[in-house]
Amino acid sequence: MKHGHMDTIFDKPVKMPAKKKRSRRPVDQSAGLGVTSIIVVVYALGIYGSLATYGFEHKLGLRFHSHIEWMQLAVSDAAVFGLPLLYVALVMICSRLSARCGKKQRWVKDRVQPVYNVVQIVLCSYMVIGLWPSVDLWGGNPFALNTQPDKAMEWFVFVHYLSKFLDWCDTFFMILGQSYRQISFLQVFHHATVGMIWGILLNRGWGSGTAAYGAFINSLTHVLMYMHYFWTSTGRKNPLKRYLTKFQLAQFASCVLHAFLVVIGFDTVYPKGLPWMQVMYHPIMLFLFSCKMLWAPLWLSGVPVAAPIRSEKQTQ
């Protein structure tokens, strides 16, 4: 006892328990050239086989909007195949330049990405609403089988095609934020290839009909995705995140089923050759999404990635 005051436990500093630490799953940066080659070959064979079955002799052009020069130019083979190759090259170059010369641009994450997320939500909602009439969910025809080509439908599928270029911003935001572990093969491959398929269909005059289902379900998925990104950008945790991942996988599986139904004759309107692109493509996506989500080969970004330890609070 000092100065008439009794020492108590409250006079001593209390050591608070340390926050639990948990680590991110390590990123696989192996080259995987064999897997890469197989995926690229399967994708290329799917495209070539589909077009060969459909017939290379068919006239190119949008069915309902070929008179609009800028729209036709956007789906020309030069744009459909050339721009994605440029995207991949820019990802590889900009990643290396950012790592060597640049600093992490925090303002992009804090100011630009929330606005971008809202733009994506609005745009994808516009496509969902526009494509909704062609997808008869309540009438038992969710895949829009045997739907005739339609001008309005082609417009919304065209907008969907253009949105695939907007999606490239995701990758460049990662580069500006130096989040190199997120620049995965899945990320870059999907963004580089999915637009090709839509461009090919549009330029063959078949960017409508039953193809509208693929644009619809992907747009709906993106609405949910960017709502998730916007929500978490405010510092909140999304308790439904696990269901979003399952919904994405279900999207790919439904597109495979849809393409098979068209191929085996459930749709008598759409040409049988073109759906083979989807039959070949979505199993690749299911494989990458299920087994190779954390595969970010070093040759892609050129930046070695460590798996840092984050606190429980930071992971929320």
Sign of torsion over alpha carbons 41, 47, 49, 52: negative
Nearest in space to 209 (alpha carbons), one of 140, 150, 277: 150
Q: Which stretches of 65-184 are DSSP H helices?
A: 69-74, 77-101, 106-107, 113-131, 151-166, 168-176
CA dist 224 to 148, 166, 298, Å? Answer: 29, 17, 30
Rounded distance between C-alpha atoms, residue 316 and residue 313, angstroms: 6
Q: Which stretches of the chain are DSSP H helices?
A: 33-54, 69-74, 77-101, 106-107, 113-131, 151-166, 168-176, 185-203, 212-233, 241-263, 276-291, 298-301
**For residue 36, with 0-12 CB atoms within 10 Å meaning exposed, 13-18 middle and 19 or more buried, which class applies?**
middle
Maximum alpha-carbon separation in the chain? 103
Are 156 and 215 a contacting pair, CB within 8 Å?
Answer: yes
User: Which member of 160, 190, 222, 282 is catalytic?
Assistant: 190
Rounded distance between C-alpha atoms, residue 295 and residue 298, angstroms: 9
190 is catalytic: yes
Instruction: Just list the catalytic residues.
Output: 190
